[in-house]
Structure 1
Amino acid sequence: MNKSTLLSAIVLACALTGCATSGNTANSVAEMAKVNNYPGMITYYKAALQQQPDDADIMQKLAEVYYQSGDLESAGFYVDHLQAQGEATPALLVLAGHIDDAKGDFTGALSAFEQAAKQGDNSAALNISQGIVLGKLGRFADAEDQFNQARLKGFDDIAIKNNLAVLYLAQGQFQRVVEMLMPVYTQADFNVKDHQTLAVNLAIALIKLGDDKQAYGILKGMYNDEQLAVLFRQVKNMTVLPAQQTVLPAQGDHHDAP
């Protein structure tokens, strides 16, 4: 039996008996997601789409991976196609909102998130997403309300405080930021490496309040002196701090894998 005939026989046997690869494939995708192997996941989902054209679930997962990889054009292409086909699940709307947010279309992002909420997504994560874009639109009170809603649903405390800090910094409420973040920073088990965003937000507030020494002590292990000089100068020269920062949950700076 030559190689071509052998391969054909193996393919036929798998088709007839259902070779036990689905579990291995799922494990493989999960492993790729753990190491952010976006090219590998894209290849996998595109191959799956070739086998099952127009499968909405596969297409949405592909769009999610494209979004995670930073290819917003490709992600938007598949999301737009799914929506044109009448798909309007909460998960798809949330993905559409994240894509719009990443593109700078904060109004479009908010609309998508609000539609997802109307479709039944009552998650704390959606409250966070809504709060972030509301902050970027300058609707600080509404943003704070969304963050507090997430807090009431048990969302990570440090992530909540970081998002609130961004709002307060944007409004010039620097002392409020220090009062909220300093108790967390000074806890015995606080690890700056795991929570750099909180440390930076706290340091920015201290710089704006003129406490350069304490801010330097917080940042010195994260940046070299040249970088710190630039950072201090930029912060001091800012009259209004933009609420354009997305703060992720403290457990890890990544999106959930599809």
Structure 2
Amino acid sequence: MKYLIIVLALLVTGCTTTNKVSDQQAINQFTVSQNYLGLIEFYKKKVIEDQNDWQAQQDLAQAYLSYGDLESADFYIQRVLSLSPSPSATAYFIKGQVLARNLDFSSALVKYKQAIDKGLNSAELYMQQGIALAQTKQYAMAIDSFNKARLRGYDDVSIKNNIAMVHIYQRDYQSAIDILLPLYEKDSSNETVNANLEISMLKQKKEKQGENSSLLTDTGSVDENADSSVVTLKNDVVSDEVEVTTISAEEFFTAQSVEQKSQTESVKKSAAKSKRTYHIQLGAYDTMAEALEKRNGLLSTQLPITIRPVELQNSETWYRLLSGNFASYRQAMTFAKQNQEVLNPHDYFIQVTR
């Protein structure tokens, strides 16, 4: 009889272990395949069996969040936070993500802080915190949070892209370009990086020249392709890997348009009064890739070469290679003569901008 009881006990333990392994395998399969509906059904069964299974409800909230059903995610995670005897750090993190996805970034930051205080130390948490800080205009703290995510192993490209977005929000376009251009040169297939780089370059040009400024040429060297330059901002996504719904660069600038109306008017006036600047133009290309390829071929000349986009009246964008930034035509000519040996093999002329 004694041995029979031991055998039965071992059988029960074996069945329990097998069920746990089977459950974990199902969870892994649903997660890897991003079958969030499967995860939802899996955890809902557990909650139906035991409405005090707080871990199952937390996992169910996460599944709903991944699926994009924010109302259901909020319902279950709020139950965990309100009714469970000891909510986990992850529960606060999930609640913070729900709030952020609903664009309540200030409240999300409170939950992220609670998650950190309870011991959560993941790269994803600091990444999401950085996004919320950026959206609440706490830019220095946002960059610090992104770098904490970097130290915890978050993808470098996503980190750099989000830091660049902070610089765009601050209208520090050159800093954004300095971060994004090397990423573009290494991998031109990343659409998010490409979009943010183009935004940075176009906004930098717009800021320097003022809205609806004209690109002019000196009468001695006419550029037949010069045209009115009107910058059009393109849509942007902070990162494909970040699940928080963020305000795009375009929406950010649109939201600021009212408070900046007087500033914009002053920019227009100052732009109209601004002096001309002169550059050595070494070419104009249809795409950024062509311009970069040409610029890279000119690096051996050791000339300072920048790429400047200009939008033509037919909505096409050209990318110009410019060298130098001079206050007068005479200065530009002097520079050209000093570098005649380097410039002569290339078609160039003096480009005048205002």
Q: Give the match for residue 315 of structure 2.
A: none
Q: Give the match for residue 205 of structure 1.
A: 200
Change (3 A) 1:169 1:73: same
What amino acid maps onto 1:200 in structure 2?
Answer: A
Summarize deviations over 1:20-72 as a string: whole Å, max 9, x none.
Answer: 34433322222222222222111111112222321111110000001111111
Change (3 A) 1:120 1:248: farther
Change (3 A) 1:88 1:53: closer
Q: Give the match for residue 102 of structure 1.
A: 101
- Between the aligned partners of 1:199 and 1:106, the Cα distance in structure 2 is 27
Q: Give the match for residue 238 of structure 1.
A: none
Q: Give the match for residue 239 of structure 2.
A: 247
Alignment check: 8 A CA contact 1:127 1:149 kept: yes
Gaps of 5+ in 1: 1-13, 212-231, 236-240
What amino acid maps onto 2:46 in structure 1?
Answer: A
Q: Give the match for residue 127 of structure 1.
A: 126
Change (3 A) 1:122 1:18: closer
> CA RMSD, aligned part only?
2.7
Summarize deviations over 1:152-176 as a string: whole Å, max 9, x none.
Answer: 3443211110110111111111111
Equivalent positions of 1:108-147 (< 5 A) are: 108-147=107-146
Q: Give the match for residue 81 of structure 1.
A: 79
Change (3 A) 1:173 1:35: same
Q: Give the match for residue 8 of structure 1.
A: none
For residue 133 of structure 1, give the secondary structure of its aligned residue in structure 2: helix
Change (3 A) 1:60 1:246: farther
Q: Give the match for residue 177 of structure 1.
A: 176
Alignment check: 8 A CA contact 1:166 1:245 kept: no
Q: Give the match for residue 23 of structure 1.
A: 21
For residue 116 of structure 1, give the secondary structure of its aligned residue in structure 2: helix
- Between the aligned partners of 2:191 and 2:237, the Cα distance in structure 1 is 13
- Between the aligned partners of 1:254 and 1:72, the Cα distance in structure 2 is 12
Q: TM-score, normalised by structure 2?
A: 0.53
Higher strand share: 2
- Measured after TM superposition, the shift of residue 209 of structure 1 is 3.1
- Between the aligned partners of 1:148 and 1:246, the Cα distance in structure 2 is 16
- Measured after TM superposition, the shift of residue 210 of structure 1 is 3.9
Summarize deviations over 1:75-110 as a string: whole Å, max 9, x none.
Answer: 111111111114431111110100000011111100
- Between the aligned partners of 1:124 and 1:101, the Cα distance in structure 2 is 17
Structure 2 counterpart of 1:69, from 67, 72, 86: 67
- Between the aligned partners of 1:127 and 1:59, the Cα distance in structure 2 is 24
Runs of 4+ aligned residues of structure 1 deviating over 4 Å after TM superposition are: 14-17
What amino acid maps onto 2:79 in structure 1?
Answer: H
Q: Which structure carries more relative contact order (alpha carbon 8 Å, separation 6+)?
A: 1
- Work out the percentage of aligned pairs sharing the same amino acid: 29
For residue 104 of structure 1, give the secondary structure of its aligned residue in structure 2: coil
What amino acid maps onto 1:247 in structure 2?
Answer: S
Higher helix share: 1
The answer to whether residue 142 in structure 2 is matched with residue 150 in structure 1 is no
Alignment check: 8 A CA contact 1:79 1:96 kept: yes
Summarize deviations over 1:208-235 as a string: whole Å, max 9, x none.
Answer: 2349xxxxxxxxxxxxxxxxxxxx7344
Change (3 A) 1:100 1:233: same
For residue 150 of structure 1, give the secondary structure of its aligned residue in structure 2: helix
Equivalent positions of 1:211-250 (< 5 A) are: 233-235=232-234, 246-247=238-239, 249=241
- Between the aligned partners of 2:52 and 2:238, the Cα distance in structure 1 is 33
Alignment check: 8 A CA contact 1:178 1:205 kept: yes
- Between the aligned partners of 1:18 and 1:154, the Cα distance in structure 2 is 38
- Measured after TM superposition, the shift of residue 248 of structure 1 is 5.2
Alignment check: 8 A CA contact 2:199 2:233 kept: no
- Between the aligned partners of 1:127 and 1:17, the Cα distance in structure 2 is 41
User: Which structure has the greater CA radius of gyration?
Assistant: 2
